[in-house]
Amino acid sequence: MADLPKHIAIIMDGNGRWAEAQGLPRIEGHRRGVDSVRMVSEMASELGIEAITLYCLSSENWKRPQPELDFLMHLLEQYLVEERRLIMEQGLRLKVIGRRDRLPESVITEMDKTLQMSAENQGTALVLAIDYGGRDEITKVVRELAREVADGKLAEEKIDEELVSSRLYTAGLPEVDLMIRTGGDFRVSNFLLWQLSYAELWVTESCWPDFKRELFLSAIDDYATRQRRFGGLSVNQ
């Protein structure tokens, strides 16, 4: 497939709404959403996408009801254990971005096991954004650079976009080329604010549990038709 994006980011929205539309508890939407996670992970590997970043839990999601949060933590821990075989078979390299200090110890334990197990894999980087916020990430980098300037370890004039990018959670990964959002909302919701600067956006009304292979391919096909100018002019202008 021509003109593949190197890095795809996905806001996996609509699990709760999907469940409510089916007359099911909200948690069933999250459970069914794991099937879509598995599908995009497998397809990214098959297509040779270099990286795929999934917005699993935002820093704002802690405002949700505690029973739902408890289930999400259980589901995450279960995913990290049960998907190890797939991760290894597909050669996926797991990476987790976001804060760790608010996650249950059991989740961190299983996360670290899967990270270590897949560290030498050479396939698609499967990036899970967990307790992640774009503003929080940028603020963290600003504080880090400010301390280094104050300590005399870094000259102010050395701070440029390349240096900032190298301090982000996504350092070493390609720039995001395509951002997919399910559930119909046209906003980025504090997701990869720096990294999405020139990403192509693709939104579908379908909720995440209904995000099937055909929709994923449609997003990639649509991306291939876009003219990416990066602030300049196309070759015909």
C-alpha–C-alpha distance, residues 209 and 35, integer Å? 7
Q: Which residues of the chain have pLDDT under 70?
A: 1-2, 229-237
Residue 20 marked in a binding site: no
Q: Which of 124, 221, 234, 116 is nearest to 174 (CA)?
A: 124
Is 23 assigned to a binding site?
Answer: no
Predicted local distance difference test score (pLDDT) of residue 232: 59
In 3-state terms, the chain is what percent helix, strand and coil (to 5)? 50, 15, 40
Residue-level length of the chain: 237
210: annotated active-site residue: no
CA 91 from chain center: how many Å? 18
pLDDT in tens, 31-80: 999 999 999 999 999 999 999 999 999 998 998 889 999 999 999 999 99
8-state DSSP, 119: T
Q: What does the pLDDT read at residue 235? A: 42
Tell me if residue 61 is catalytic.
Answer: yes
Of 3, 35, 61, 160, which one is the catalytic site residue?
61
15 is in an annotated binding site: yes
Residue 55: closest CA among 115, 128, 107: 128
Identify the sign of the CA torsion 189, 126, 124, 138: positive
Q: Where are the beta strands (DSSP E) in the chain?
A: 7-11, 51-58, 93-97, 125-132, 178-181, 200-203
Question: Residue 3's pLDDT is what?
Answer: 85
188 is an annotated ligand-binding site residue: yes
Distance CA 173, CA 129 (A): 14
Q: Where are the domains of the chain?
A: 7-133+176-225
pLDDT of residue 229: 64
Catalytic one of 3, 13, 101, 136:
13
Please check if 26 is assigned to a binding site: yes
- Domain 7-133+176-225 is classified in which CATH homologous superfamily? Decaprenyl diphosphate synthase-like (3.40.1180.10)
Rounded to two decimals, what is the model's pTM?
A: 0.93
Burial 198-208 (b: 16+ CB within 10 A, else e): ebbebbbebbb
Look at residue 237 in the predicted model and tell me its pLDDT.
43
